[in-house]
């Protein structure tokens, strides 16, 4: 399995679209420190807030918060290896409407309008080799874009969710598609009160998922196509088997790596999962009768960010 997963990781190395499919510019109120930006191709009434977030790696990544007025949870979506935010705008809008959730999406360092750009697929392949050598000399650091830097990216986005939108762990679902399963499980393994995790065509190992899935304490939904010729179906099955708290998986019969959203069972099962997580959040919420008279009840905010596939 080791050689297989290593070859999968190599095939799914980071290949940002060239050129980027969108740009960002200052919003009407300006884009100072913490200020909002505008994403090209998105109307002003789309209900999205775009920011440029600093990471521990020294890059700045684009985040886009798609707000739903009735959302109770927040879904933080990490996309696949060969797409950027501009290619997924329509899907964000569709999922927000059908799932009634907020969506927090972001581009990795080196993708879209995020900094750390690497030009050319040949150079991207050289980065794979270079990262291996560089990391052996400087553990925990990488050239761009890279697996380690996706960890820094998602940490920056999570910090934004907490500080700018008041999202608590209990209100958050992490969604990782393909290589996005790497940063998703990295963050999930560190959050003890996380509401849930979705792994869409996830990778078993090669990006350290095989160890981190065992450290996740919340419900895990695994979605995988039985005819996936990029990340074999066995990856999804094993990830589900290794999860501590298993949610009913979705094995899409005949589904490939890049088309699971086109199957009607995809949105149905995802909506079922979201509903279950909303109910779980409600059941675990403290009741007034359980609070001592000296305690004060704070308003509970519920947000759910969710995003689809590349």
pLDDT at 171 over 90: yes
pLDDT at 11 over 60: no
Q: Report pLDDT for 35.
A: 80
Helix, coil or strand: residue 200? strand
Per-residue pLDDT at 79 exceeds 80? yes
Which residues belong to the active site?
178, 228, 257
Mean pLDDT of 80-96: 91
Pairwise CA distance, residues 72 & 197, whole Å: 16
> Can you point out the beta strands (E) in the chain?
24-26, 37-39, 48-54, 60-66, 74-78, 102-106, 172-177, 196-200, 219-225, 245-246, 250-252
Tell me the residue length of the chain.
310
Indicate whether 85 pLDDT > 50: yes
**Architecture of the structural domain at 2-283:** 3-Layer(aba) Sandwich (3.40)
């Amino acid at each position: 399995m080791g050689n297989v997963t290593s070859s999968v990781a190599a095939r799914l190395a980071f290949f940002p679209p060239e050129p980027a499919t969108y740009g960002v510019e200052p919003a009407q109120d300006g884009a100072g420190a913490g200020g909002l930006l505008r994403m090209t191709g998105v109307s002003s009434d789309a209900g999205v807030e775009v920011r440029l977030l600093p990471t521990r790696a020294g890059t700045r990544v684009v985040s886009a918060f798609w707000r739903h007025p009735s959302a109770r949870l927040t879904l933080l979506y990490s996309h696949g290896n060969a797409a950027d935010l501009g290619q997924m705008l329509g899907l964000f809008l569709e999922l927000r409407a059908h799932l009634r959730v907020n969506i927090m999406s972001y581009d990795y360092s080196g993708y879209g309008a995020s900094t750390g750009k690497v030009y050319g697929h040949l150079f991207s392949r050289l980065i794979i080799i270079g990262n291996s050598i560089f990391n052996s000399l400087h553990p925990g650091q990488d050239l761009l874009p890279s697996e380690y830097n996706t960890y820094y990216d998602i940490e920056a986005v999570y910090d934004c969710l907490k500080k700018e939108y008041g999202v608590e762990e209990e209100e958050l679902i992490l969604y990782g598609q393909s290589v996005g399963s790497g940063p998703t499980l990295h963050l999930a393994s560190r959050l003890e009160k996380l509401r849930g995790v979705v792994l869409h065509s996830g990778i078993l190992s090669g990006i350290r998922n095989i160890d981190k899935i065992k450290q996740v304490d919340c419900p895990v939904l695994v979605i995988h196509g039985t005819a996936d010729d990029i990340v074999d179906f066995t990856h999804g099955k094993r990830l589900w088997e290794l999860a501590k708290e298993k949610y009913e998986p979705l094995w899409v019969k005949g589904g490939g790596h890049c088309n699971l959203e086109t199957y009607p069972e995809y949105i149905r099962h995802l909506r079922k999962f979201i509903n279950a997580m909303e109910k779980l959040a409600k059941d675990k919420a403290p009741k007034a009768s359980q609070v001592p008279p000296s305690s004060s009840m704070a308003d509970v905010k519920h947000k759910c960010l969710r995003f689809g596939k590349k």
